[in-house]
Structure 1
Amino acid sequence: MSTAKAERLLIADDDANLVEAYVSFFEAYGYAVQTAVDGVGALAAYSAWRPDVVILDIQMPRVDGHAVAREIRRIGFAPRPFLLAVTALHAPGEKTESFKAGFDHHFVKPARLPVILAAIASRPTI
């Protein structure tokens, strides 16, 4: 069940049970995974580790996922990371707000992990 290469995946969400499920799932597909429980931790992990893919909840303590995405885009490390919002926010306009913040995809919880994996696998390569 592993991928051809071990890509780096950062997951930031304040729901510990959800993060545990994400970690188990993505590690089974060969991803090297780090986690954060809030936006401040996500930014620190991103800057130190420079993951290929970042999955962010929007409603996190301290700094929300939109602010984290905007800061990641402002930092501008190359290659540009693939950003995915996985959030409970489903009101009209939430997806637009995620794209404005710099996300490549916006998934509504409960998001199906195989669908997220497919989005990551099908992203354009640089």
Structure 2
Amino acid sequence: MRAEIDARQHELTLVLPQALTIEGDAIRLEQIVTNLLGNAAKYTPAGGRIELKLVRNGEEAVLTVTDNGIGMTADFLPTIFTLFVQAERPLDRASAGLGLGLALVHKLVGLHHGTVHASSPGLGRGSTFVIRLPAPHGLIVPQPLSEDVTGDTALTVTHKILVVDDNADAADSTAMILQLEGHEVKVASNGPAALQYATEFRPGVILLDIGLPDMDGYEIAHRIRAIAGLAHTVLIAVSGYAGEDHRERARQAGFDHYLVKPAGLSRLNELIATSRGDR
């Protein structure tokens, strides 16, 4: 993250112990830290301050990331770990992605039997994220498995899912979360790519953002329904509008379900389970 932090001229302070061992997946733990640091860098005006601190507290490792950036309102805080949440910001849409990154953090921390908590004094007053992970004393670090050791450890792929969103952060984070659930996922950022993937990938589920710049989700849904063999593909609309007129327009376009931002992962999983596109 150093290049991004330096590019924004932030002052980064690291407070780290000599050694603190936990049991976990190194790649996923890295994703947790880089998501938190990435958000801090992105949502802190140039020349800001970011601190990353790691300490032991009893049988826990406590990671704290603090910034003096845009902060969050009290009513926004309870929603930040749900899907499709984005903070109010004076930045262009390409800088969005806060909510999905945090949903991924929440999922990964939970898989490590930990907790994550967010706080902020208010808009313009920065944010603090605290992650607690089990770190029992005397934890023995296992030796790496030899290359010839094999086992049935792979996740079972239950659905082929296409995520369509023009926001790269949001799309990639959604894909990561769904992959953690065991699905095979591809990402498209615009209408033509969505139609191409729908034809070639033959997904059982398509998670489709309505507000796309070149071709909106309604038009894409119409065209997907005209593709041979995709009659039973489950189309899930993702929209910031909750009115019945928007839902009716989605039904007419061929959507099976309509998700209003923000949406919980459990609700998304329920809708995906309706798919008849199992592999």
Q: 2:258 aligns with which of 103, 106, 115?
A: 106
Larger Rg: 2
Q: 2:239 aligns with which of 84, 87, 96?
A: 87
1:41 aligned residue: 193
Q: 1:63 to 1:84 in 2, by over 3 A?
A: same
1:78 Cα offset (Å): 4.9
Q: Does residue 1:56 correspond to 2:208, yes or no?
A: yes
Identity between Structure 1 and Structure 2 (%): 30
Q: Does residue 1:116 correspond to 2:268, yes or no?
A: yes
1:90 Cα offset (Å): 2.5
2:224 aligned residue: 72
Q: 2:178 aligns with which of 19, 22, 26?
A: 26
Task: Kindly provide the amino acid, as one letter, of the partner of residue 196 in structure 2.
Answer: A
1:106 match: secondary structure: strand
1:99 match: secondary structure: helix
Q: What CA distance in whole angstroms lies between the structure 1 residues aligned with 2:230 and 2:242?
A: 31
* Contiguous gaps of at least 5 residues in structure 1: none
Which structure is richer in relative contact order (CA contacts within 8 A, separation 6 or more)?
1
TM-score calculated relative to the size of structure 2: 0.42
Q: What CA distance in whole angstroms lies between the structure 2 residues aligned with 1:72 and 1:114?
A: 26
Task: Kindly provide the amino acid, as one letter, of the partner of residue 203 in structure 2.
Answer: P
Query: What do the CA deviations read for 1:81-125 (whole angstroms, capped 9, x no partner)?
Result: 11100111223400111011000000011121221111111x164
1:3 Cα offset (Å): 7.0
* Contact in 1 for aligned 2:232/2:276 (Cα 8 Å): no
Q: What CA distance in whole angstroms lies between the structure 2 residues aligned with 1:68 and 1:110?
A: 22
Q: 1:13 to 1:81 in 2, by over 3 A?
A: same
Q: 1:59 to 1:74 in 2, by over 3 A?
A: same
Q: What CA distance in whole angstroms lies between the structure 1 residues aligned with 2:230 and 2:193?
A: 21
Task: Kindly provide the amino acid, as one letter, of the partner of residue 31 in structure 1.
Answer: H
Query: What do the CA deviations read for 1:15-62 (whole angstroms, capped 9, x no partner)?
Result: 222212211110011110000111111111111111111000011121
1:84 match: secondary structure: strand
Which structure shows the higher helix fraction? Answer: 1
Q: What CA distance in whole angstroms lies between the structure 1 residues aligned with 2:224 and 2:207?
A: 12
Q: What CA distance in whole angstroms lies between the structure 2 residues aligned with 1:10 and 1:56?
A: 8
1:15 aligned residue: 167
1:71 Cα offset (Å): 0.8
* Contact in 1 for aligned 2:157/2:182 (Cα 8 Å): yes
User: How many corresponding residue pairs?
Assistant: 125
Structure 1 residue ranges, 4+ long, deviating more than 3 angstroms after superposition: 1-6
1:86 match: secondary structure: strand
Q: 1:48 to 1:60 in 2, by over 3 A?
A: same
